[in-house]
Amino acid sequence: ALAGLRAAYEKAIDQGDGFRAFNLGTEVGHSVREVVRSVERVTGRPVPARVGPRRPGDPPRLLAQAQAAKQDLGFVAGHRELDVIVETALRWRRNHPAGYGA
């Protein structure tokens, strides 16, 4: 993601276009259940979860559409395997317990 952020920043500076948002996702969807199971595998701990009906207004499916990042920046997300994504996020959080401000 850092490479994508750097590319977006440099493009904005070069073109002087100001702000433009890019979605840096993988275009691969995962259910909440899949994410919970991945977190359990990566951490080795159970995740307390409760299955319930879809809430009003919840979309049936969300996917990152990253074509603009690929076309305009040449950026393609590096990790597509859910366990790798979860492990990377967990490692970042452990190394930055106060978030970006640390």
Answer whether 0.85 is exceeded by the pTM.
no
Give the integer Cα–Cα distance in Å for 86 and 65.
Answer: 20
Would you state the pLDDT for residue 26? Answer: 84
Give the integer Cα–Cα distance in Å for 71 and 65.
Answer: 12
Q: What is the pLDDT of residues 35-81, one digit of tens each?
A: 999 999 999 999 999 999 989 998 888 888 889 888 888 888 887 89
Give the integer Cα–Cα distance in Å for 52 and 31.
Answer: 14
Give the integer Cα–Cα distance in Å for 35 and 32.
Answer: 5
Give the integer Cα–Cα distance in Å for 88 and 82.
Answer: 10
